Amino acid sequence: MPVPGARLLHTVRGDGPVLLLIAGGHHGIDATEPLARHLADRYTVVTYDRRGLSGSTADAPAKTLATHAEDASSLLGSLDREPALVYGTSIGALIALELTTRHPEQVAAVVAHEPPVPHLLPEPGQGLGRLLAVEETFRAHGADAAMRAFAADLDIDPADSEPDVSPRTPRPDRVRDAEVLLTYDLPAVRAHVLDLAALAGSPARVVVAAGEKSGHLWTYTCAELLSGVLGTRMVTFPGGHNGYVFRPRATAERIHEVLGVTRRT
């Protein structure tokens, strides 16, 4: 699908209210595939590769999260539906929240799982410093070393998975995707300032979530603080920061519970 400066690869499956999944990290369609399968019995599930990642292209890379949010808005607009449901995690959660503030008419409800919002932390440098350290590792040692440091910082544990979840085959372009994340998206996260007033005033229902095993992570603290600012209760989801990848069935069930969408008969 063409958007200004890029083309987005996306998939649509299922039937029911539109549910847009926005992945975290350098993930896209492949990482959200298992979760989408578990959701398609209740929703029209939309997954996509962000601008510059894998199956999508970018003549102009996204240097701000606003660009990613506009891409998501264009994708929803192409479906010509009622306001959508959105689930985003990590950087995907920030994009989902930015979409909600910029285009509230397109979003009925958003679930933002562990959004990295460093400026909410008592010591913002804690989160900013961790992101900067990953970027510095990238410049000094390359993408693989930086992504290992990134995964260690967020305590990504593939062993904490559902029994039928098998390790994903690395994509041939995973290094290029990681380079896009490290070159453009992490600096965009560091520079991003969430419009809290617009988010609080949005007609969309905003649900802030975090992994039940993420309590020691700074992204969990961000989620707690954001829910406090919005005056809502933070919801816990199965697993850790990447629970949607390793626990897709349980994540789908929690999404059903949070959004209140029942199985069709």
Contact 45, 38 (CB under 8 A): no
Single pTM value for the model? 0.95
Structure tokens at 226: 């954001």
Q: CB atoms < 10 A from the CB of 231, how many?
A: 7
Give 107-166 pLDDT, tens digit per residue. Answer: 999 999 999 999 999 988 889 999 999 999 999 999 999 999 999 999 998 888 999 887
Report the pLDDT value the prediction gives residue 60, as an integer from 0 to 100.
86
Contact 101, 198 (CB under 8 A): yes
Contact 70, 165 (CB under 8 A): no
